[in-house]
A = this chain, B = another copy of it.
Amino acid sequence: MTQTETRAPAAPDTTTREICAQIDRLIDARSARIAAHGPHFSELWDVAVHCLQGGKLLRPRLMMGAFDTLAGTGPAAQRTSALEVAAALEILHFSFLLHDDVIDEDLVRRGEPNLIGCLVAGGAPGLAPAASPAADTTAAARRTLHWARSSGLLVGDLMLTIAHQIMARLRLPEHSRTRVLDLLEASVTETVAGEYCDVGLADGAFVPDLSLVLDMTRMKTASYTFELPLRIAAVVAESPPAVELQLGEVGRHLGVAFQLQDDLLSAFSVSAAHGKDQFSDFREGKETALIAYARMTNAWPSIERLLGAERFSDDSGRRIQRLLTECGAREFIETLVQDQIRTALQVLTRADCAIPAATSRFILGLVDSLDGRRA
């Protein structure tokens, strides 16, 4: 979920504006209820809405891009439902990010303070703002951090609730509404399973073999970032079941490719242009597929010494980059990315492919932008 999200292709500016307007409408509709629970809660809500609006809308734009090619000039009411689903996907994503930040104890997201960071910096009536809370271990700083993290957890619950509520109220034929709910539940379950796997690997609860790390990658991100938006677009557009299934297959492969390429970008990009601190994955000792591969090679003892070490320097980072390249981990993951993309494209050229040509073209545009994300 900690990703580099480049601009989604083929999403006209108008669609982006429509998605933003839909998110604003769904959020505004809830503001009066929030305000009824007092000024403290309203202030928290305002910070949450500010953070929600900072997203790049990858999932909703992917979903609307696919929907528009599938539905063509369908009924206006159907497109309104599609926009509601798109907004719900962004709110769901925000909920996952919030809980991810609670688990990872992060204060920064996309180079900006996240919700927790905003709360820590802004303080509260009884708590002084903290300049560098991670370094400050006084009781007061610990209380501020605990309050801010608990708030992140609670806002995440609220956003998860809102995402479900939007999906539950869609004005679609009953079979489509139920199908949307099925896909949503399956995807949330898979994301939770992936996140559980991630935290288990990070804390040393599970043995970090490559196949577990690849499963984690697929479950934690590929499912709700690519598979869910594409499948749900097909359902809302009333496409035949075969289209939904095949788009799911395409989405799953592209999602894994996207996440693995994100790991490559984090590990090998020469600047922080992809939105993260350079070497942050190495500094945190993050369990990625690159690392899981390297663990099986002779380079591992050297990498292990440097990874997440207390005195981590830029030199350590550059040395890990070299070691990951020399031991074949980089090439292995690059090949995996290409394999996943190729498998996704094979679905589009299979004899039984039910995906309309316009949607296939949209997906090919996506693949080009994935390829453009190379480190």
A positions within 8 Å CB-CB of B: 30, 33-34, 37-38, 40-41, 44, 99, 102-103, 124-127, 143-144, 146-147, 150-151, 153-158, 160-162, 164-165, 167-169, 178, 181, 184-186, 188-190, 192-197, 199-200, 203-207, 212, 215, 219
Contact = CB atoms under 8 A, between A and B. Distances in A.
Given A40-B200, A125-B206, A143-B204, 11 more contacts: A38-B212, A38-B215, A40-B197, A40-B206, A99-B153, A102-B153, A124-B205, A147-B205, A151-B199, A157-B160, A164-B164
Contact of A41 (B127, B164, B169, B197): B197
Nearest to A144: B203
Nearest to A187: B161
A283 to B, nearest CB: 17
A125 B204 CA distance: 9
A9 B204 CA distance: 47
Copy total for this chain? 2
Nearest to A155: B192
B181 A165 contact: yes
A151 B201 CA distance: 12
B147 A200 contact: yes
A146 B198 CA distance: 12
Contacts of A168: 164, 167-168, 181
A189 B34 contact: yes
A204 B125 CA distance: 9
A298 to B, nearest CB: 23
Contact of A193 (B41, B146, B165, B181): B41
Contacts of A126: 200, 204-207
A219 B37 contact: yes
23 contacts: A33-B186, A37-B189, A37-B190, A37-B193, A38-B193, A38-B197, A40-B200, A40-B206, A41-B193, A44-B196, A99-B153, A125-B206, A125-B207, A126-B200, A150-B196, A151-B196, A155-B192, A156-B157, A157-B188, A158-B189, A160-B161, A165-B181, A168-B181
B44 A147 contact: no
Contacts of A186: 33
Contacts of A196: 40-41, 44, 150-151, 154
A120 to B, nearest CB: 11
Contact of A99 (B157, B162, B188): B157
